[in-house]
Structure 1
Amino acid sequence: MKKLRIVFVACFALVNFLSIAQENKPNIVIIYTDDQGVGDVGALNPNAKFNTPNMDKIANEGIIFTDGHSSDAVCTPSRYSLLTGRYSWRTSLKKNVLHADGPCLIEKDRMTIASLLQENGYNTAMIGKWHLQMEFEGEKGKGRDWSKPFTDGPIEKGFDYYFGIAASMNYGILTYLENDKVLEAPSMYTKKKMDVTPRTYRMTPPYQQDNAKGYVEVAPSFNDELVLETLANRAVSYINDVDKEKPFFLYLPLTSPHLPHCTHPDFQGKSNCGNYGDFMQETDYRVGQVLDALKQNGLEENTLVIFSSDNGAESNYAYQRDTYQHYSCMDFKGGKRDIYEGGHRVPFLMRWPKVIKAGTKVDEPVCQTDYLATIAEIIDVALPDNAAEDSYSLLSVMKNPNKKLKRQLINHSFTGHFAIREGKWKLNMLRGSGGSLKPVIIEPKKGEALYELYDLENDPGETNNLYFKYPKVVKKLKSKISKIIANGRSTKGKPQPYVKGNWEQVSWMSLD
């Protein structure tokens, strides 16, 4: 009997220990905006022409990474990298973005933040825009069967629950999806309506019955102005209703401020920066709804909130700059799609009151690939060699901003061109932006610089090419980026396989 009592006490103690350990795991919320420049947060840009009190709250009550980057200058590759901790150019996607319908870019059995947390006792949910492709039954305009489940979507990548839309609204399949179901058949067609609002477009009705060039599939009741509200309300409901006995992970990729600028009527005309400013103020309000839900449920203290954007501001940033004196890209060169800093320098904020001291700033270069390793360290899980190959844990600098990371960072453009960053140095492996819709790539003449080398500490606007002045720096960085690509990883560990293929953007190295 005494032995049984000892066994019972031991079992009870183990269960109690595991329960306490589970309680100490933080909830994790990643809020991911779409095409938001680093200057589109008031806490980062005191001269912003619209208000972002809720984004500012995350910044002021947590940590600002002043040198934070998306892994790419466009949508799909950045989303892949955020979820997997791996640069997307290691996959078959060497440039550009994917569509709404097709095989998912995240490979079968590849670890994601969601699958890692799901396997370690978390409830996991995604609410928002996917844009990594999923497969629907049938082909556009050829008798789709919307009643059948779609495959290769978020549920198969580690999420217990999914609600959202397939891709950017100009890419089509405009209807809401839940888990693996289409909630309303996209039985009609629409295209960009360029005359609805100045300097932008809308996907608003009227819709038409027949398919035509440039048209995308849309559900009859779909309303672009209500998407942000719908996603935020779902996120709030999830936080309110989720089983509080387990920690949860919520990935909330919003659709704004990506075109179309389809601001909810309640926010139209409310800013000092036209349609863009109105849309950003609505975005901030939706962020506030999520923060309020955490507070009302008593979850603030031990919830890590991460806020960032998939790339820099869309090219209409120039209109906002010239018309309203609002600088979405601050003084950085370029914007979305570009290899220059404006293409991938983004808001990079975290709040976790239990761990992060309010008002903290870190000036080290960091990347969204780093989220997976950071989360793995937080929950005390070792990563295998074939996961998170380009992910560095940020937990040490979250606790102590004076720590040094000592890492290289790879930037990547719309056209698939590269840059490498180490400390203050940035080497662009081309001359030109490598990013505009009609790429401006300068072919060097004999005796001209092959690449562009910048000292970002003294020249953050990338105006003075130091290629000839520091040939040893050029040689060193060229060697390092070649090694990072060839090893299939930038972190320590065994070299990993990657998709090589016909890769013209890395002509300076051999892939054999």
Structure 2
Amino acid sequence: MTAAVVGVAQATLADQRPNIIIIYTDDQGYGDCSLLNPESKFKTPNIDRIGQQGIVFTDGHCSNTVCTPSRYGLLTGRYSWRTRLKQGVLNSDDEPLIANDRSTIATLLKRNGYNTGMVGKWHLGMTFNEDGSKILDGPLQKGFNYFWGIPASMNFGYCAWYDMDFAKVAPRMMTYKKPNKIAVSDYRIIPPYEKPGASKKSIKVAEDFEDIMVLERFTEKAVQWIGKVHKDDKPFFLYLPLTSPHKPVVPQERFRGKSEAGAYGDFMIETDFWIGQLMKALEERGIYDNTMIIFSSDNGPERTWSKRIKLHGHVSNRTLRDGKRSLYDGGHRVPFFISWPKKIQGGQTFGKPVNQLDIFATLAEVVGDKVKSDEAEDSFSFAQLFEGKMPQPRKAMIHQSMTGQFAIREGKWKLIMPNRANQKMELYDLENDLAEQRNLLDKHPEIVAGLKAKMIKIIDGGKTREECSSANDVPMNLSWK
């Protein structure tokens, strides 16, 4: 899709100083919003509104295909595989992946006078005191003035409500994944909970925790925090990483049966509802027009996407191949919308590749800051779009799967590297084969050689931006070099 961009204001970006909200869904596929999927079996009017009132990035990507590394990339503008995490995700109580001297979007905006808050799911590692009642190292040490939320996905302990660094009710009970009668191939985190010592109790949980209340409580706390800080003489930044539609798929009773895609569709309708409540709160306070909302997902849809096709005819990955954990585009091409009514004219689409890594550099330009040489090493600003101008083509981006397999994307070409001895490279022309069905490896040896050389340089070099001075925290060992 070609770009269509028109600016609507003459003032510089830094003069606007918008409030900034990043809404980050969990396991939402490219086809899981009605704006991108006309054949969707459910409607998402509030999510759609963000795209309709701003820019839809039809070739927008997360930096990995699972939770932890994508969140690291989003917040730091740096690939997670430059750290110790070479594949997979962290447990809730692992050592934090973001070092305390590493710049995040929160520290960037904080140094530019913003109130910074986070409400939602962290999943970047936390350290706790002995009984889990206090966070010793978490979001408040990464640039956020305020935190209310949970440490990780609900299939990991600890499951408790943390307000700043403390859980009012500590996770002193134990549980396990219970059967979910609402959704297929799923689980619940619900009472009864038991005291430590019982068998099969692998998740630490607080007595007052219940999975079905997470979205409502996140929205409630986000709105409360905005209500406290929006009257200050400085703007705010809210990072709102939701837990849906990640398992457990648990729509509240009032949303059940509202979609034609089973509990999953109902859960997406509930997700959209709470996003709408947040937007309504901004309007009621008169701050909606000068609030930039960035909406995206941490990776593609969970493997249950294939069951939804058979049961309901809903295609979560739309026309893309595969989903979560996969190097094919279904694993990392995600919904990606930005609205800012005061500055951005609605109804725009941008069809060139962008990455969530780029949000860091983009926001730096929006607030009139410069990205330093030791931060956001893989981030490229697309803020020129907000001025009605075309940004420079993005440099090659690296994709990584859950197992650590790599691919490189530049322009229309995507080269996938092998991850095991009997695996071959794959080359796809995404302009003419978005579903990645025709491997053109043997037809374009010169493109393969060029992309491979660029991939090695980016991965081994410690940065994509040439002006950076950083190296990888832990060296890479690329077997295919």
TM range (shorter): over 0.9
- Structure 1 letter corresponding to 2:479: S
Contact 2:380 2:394 in 1 (8 A): no
Deviation at 1:87, TM superposition (A): 0.4
* Counterpart Cα distance in 2 of 1:376 and 1:459: 35
Show the counterpart of 1:396.
384
CA distance in structure 1 between the aligned counterparts of 2:63 and 2:15, rounded to whole angstroms: 32
- Give runs of aligned pairs for residues 2-151 of structure 1, distance below 5 A: 24-138=16-130, 144=131, 146-147=132-133, 149-151=134-136
- How do 1:12-411 residues align onto structure 2 when only pairs under 5 Å count? 24-138=16-130, 144=131, 146-147=132-133, 149-199=134-184, 200-211=186-197, 212-213=199-200, 215-244=202-231, 245-400=233-388, 402-411=390-399
The aligned amino acid for 1:313 is P
Conservation of the 8 A alpha-carbon contact between 1:336 and 1:342:
yes
Structure 2 CA distance, aligned partners of 1:198 and 1:377? 43
Shift of 1:508: 2.5
In 2: Cα distance, 1:269 partner to 1:293 partner: 27
Q: Give the residue type in structure 2 aligned to 1:396.
A: Q
1:335 partner letter: G
Q: CA deviation at 1:22?
A: 8.5
State which structure, 1 or 2, has the greater radius of gyration over its C-alpha atoms: 1
Could you tell me whether the CA contact under 8 Å between 1:225 and 1:265 is conserved in 2? no
Q: Does residue 1:469 correspond to 2:443, yes or no?
A: yes
- The answer to whether structure 1 residue 482 and structure 2 residue 456 are counterparts is yes
Which deviates the most, 179-188 or 309-318? 179-188
CA distance in 1 between partners of 2:136 and 2:94 (Å)? 9
Q: TM-score, normalised by structure 1?
A: 0.88
Change (3 A) 1:195 1:156: closer
Deviates more, 1:398-407 or 1:461-470: 398-407
| 2:52 and 2:346 in contact (8 A); partners too | yes
TM-fit CA distance, 1:401: 6.3
| Structure 2, unaligned runs of 5 or more | 1-11
The CA deviation string for residues 234-287 of structure 1, in whole angstroms up to 9 with x for no partner, is: 111122221422100000000100000121222122211111001100000011
How far apart are 1:210 and its partner, in Å? Answer: 3.0
Secondary structure of the equivalent of 1:255?
strand
Q: Which amino acid aligns with 1:223?
A: E
Question: Is it true that 1:420 corresponds to 2:399 in the alignment?
Answer: no
Shifted more, 156-165 versus 235-244: the winner is: 235-244
CA distance in 1, matches of 2:17, 2:305: 40
Per the alignment, in what secondary structure is the counterpart of residue 294 of structure 2? strand
Partners of 2:293 and 2:230 lie apart in 1 by 19
Please give the secondary structure, in 2, of the residue aligned with 1:382.
coil
| Paired residues of 1:374 and 1:394 also in contact (CA < 8 A) | yes
Q: Number of paired residues?
A: 467
Given that 1:312 and 1:336 are in contact with CA atoms closer than 8 Å, whether structure 2 keeps it comes out as yes
- Tell me how far 1:500 sits from its aligned partner: 3.2
Query: Whole-Å Cα distance in 2 between the matches of residues 69 and 26 of structure 1?
Result: 24
Deviations along 1:331-364, one digit per CA (max 9) or x if unpaired, are 1111000001000010000001122110010001
Q: Which amino acid aligns with 1:499?
A: D
The percent of aligned pairs where both chains have the same amino acid is: 48
* CA-CA distance at 1:26 after TM superposition: 0.7
Cα deviations across residues 10-45 of structure 1 (Å, max 9, x unaligned)? Answer: xxxxxxxxxx99873110000000000010111110
**SS of residue in 2 equivalent to 1:57:** helix
Aligned-partner SS, 1:485: helix
Which digits, 9 at most, give the CA deviation of each residue in 1:420-474, with x for residues without a partner?
00000000012xxx7xxxxxx5714xxxxx3000000011111111111100000
Distance (Å, rounded) in 1 between the aligned partners of 2:421 and 2:48: 39
State the alpha-carbon separation in 1 of the partners of residues 394 and 69 from structure 2: 24
What's the CA shift string for 1:72-127, capped at 9, x where partnerless? Answer: 00000000010000000000000000010021100121110001111111100000
Q: CA deviation at 1:214?
A: 5.6
CA contact (8 A) 1:23 1:246 kept: no
Whole-angstrom CA distance in 1 between matches of 2:68 and 2:88: 8
TM-score by length of 2: 0.94
- The amino acid of 1:491's aligned partner reads R
The aligned amino acid for 2:269 is: Q
Amino acid at match of 1:294: L
CA contact (8 A) 2:14 2:368 kept: no
RMSD of the TM alignment (CA)?
Answer: 1.7
